[in-house]
Structure 1
Amino acid sequence: MFLGFIAGVIARVLMPGDAFRKMSGPASWLVSVGLGLAGAMVGYVIFTLGFGIGDDDIFDWGGILSAIIGTLIVIPIAGWLLRRWGRAS
């Protein structure tokens, strides 16, 4: 969960103007954790399972990098889904 939070926060800082910018407080933190966890899973699938890069350590710097990259992929998809369902402006 800590890795997801870190990845979510860093990716949201790097991704300007995402659909979640107007959130604040606990909702913003929960979105960061959720996006970070989803991004960590995407990063794991892409890099470890897809390319064979990485290992099975719980916490390492390569895992953080792949989680951030995965989260940068997840944020626009989640924003697109929110806009499509009419829940974001």
Structure 2
Amino acid sequence: MSYRTYIYFLVIQIFVLFCLSLDTVKTRWQLSQEFENQEYLKITLNKLLEINLHLKTEHYHLNSPAKIERHAKENLGMIEIKKKLFDSL
């Protein structure tokens, strides 16, 4: 082979090596972005689980029978019906 052919193959190899290097850098950057996104999603999940717990607690508190009875007495003016015992004559 001639000198010109060696130079041609060398340039092609350098170009391929350069392309592979760029692809490696791109892949590493994408991987780091995915790890960052994963951490963000973990933090978001923890916040949403905490909010869910607060909302469940509030739901059980607001729907408790004692709370409903107190709301009926205070805001709606309802009174409790009491049994009256009559003495038979």
User: With structure 1 as the length reference, what TM-score do the two structures score?
Assistant: 0.30
**Greater C-alpha radius of gyration:** 2
* Greater helix content: 2
User: With structure 2 as the length reference, what TM-score do the two structures score?
Assistant: 0.30
